[in-house]
Amino acid sequence: MQSAHLALVSETKSSRELHRLTDVHSSAVRSRNMSAIRAKDTRPEMLIRQGLHKRGLRFRLHVGRLPGSPDLVLPKYRTVIFVHGCFWHGHGCHLFKLPKTRTEFWSTKIDANVRRDIIAQEELSALGWRIGIVWECALKGKCKIPLDALLDQLVGWLDTPGASTLELTGGSVERVSVT
């Protein structure tokens, strides 16, 4: 997993106080921004959903009872698929850029998300689920993989018993680990 290394910057008491006040004033704006970023049914996710559906695969969406609330769940294949936004999930790719304002807030937030993702993946593995991760940069931007090629890889992996994980990132980088 190519997670960005996010340094946690230590705060002085006064800057914490300042942030607390800023938080109060901007919380409405921030929660709106964050809900936009975390929105379900994002375009990359829709591309994957439509593509897999066209190829005859059936799945459930956003299954909250599973660790990490996977975007797609394919019970028949005992497989979950996450479509990760590169910013929100701290991908170390060209799409990831920490905002110049409130950098520390975002750094802390994203670092927590990355840790949560790792824990969710460990729990899913322990429960016997296969895990596919499609990063946003595989679907958009200068390094994107042609959609058909990406779907070929995904479907090929689904049909490979024993291939426990697949991670698709921009630039056709494929990593399959077989256990």
- Contacts to Zn ion by CB under 5 A: 86, 91, 93, 95, 135, 137
User: What is the side-by-side strand order in the sheet with 60-61?
Assistant: 60-61, 72-74, 79-84, 130-135, 163-169, 173-178
Q: Which of 81, 169, 85 is nearest to 129 (CA)?
A: 81
Please say which residue, 57 or 168, places its beta carbon nearer to Zn ion. Answer: 168
CB of 162 to Zn ion, least distance (A): 27
Please say which residue, 30 or 144, places its beta carbon nearer to Zn ion. Answer: 144
Integer Cα distance of 126 and 40 in angstroms: 26
Please say which residue, 109 or 144, places its beta carbon nearer to Zn ion. Answer: 144
CB of 133 to Zn ion, least distance (A): 10
Integer Cα distance of 44 and 82 in angstroms: 11
CB of 4 to Zn ion, least distance (A): 10
Please say which residue, 57 or 137, places its beta carbon nearer to Zn ion. Answer: 137
Strands (E), the chain: 60-61, 72-74, 79-84, 130-135, 163-169, 173-178
Contact indicator for 72, 61 with CB cutoff of 8 Å: yes
Alpha-carbon distances, residue 90 vs 11, 44, 68 (angstroms): 22, 16, 15
The whole-angstrom distance between residue 104's C-alpha and the CA centroid of its chain comes to 21
CB of 54 to Zn ion, least distance (A): 24
Please say which residue, 66 or 111, places its beta carbon nearer to Zn ion. Answer: 111
Q: Which two tokens stand for residue 79?
A: 């497989």
Please say which residue, 57 or 90, places its beta carbon nearer to Zn ion. Answer: 90
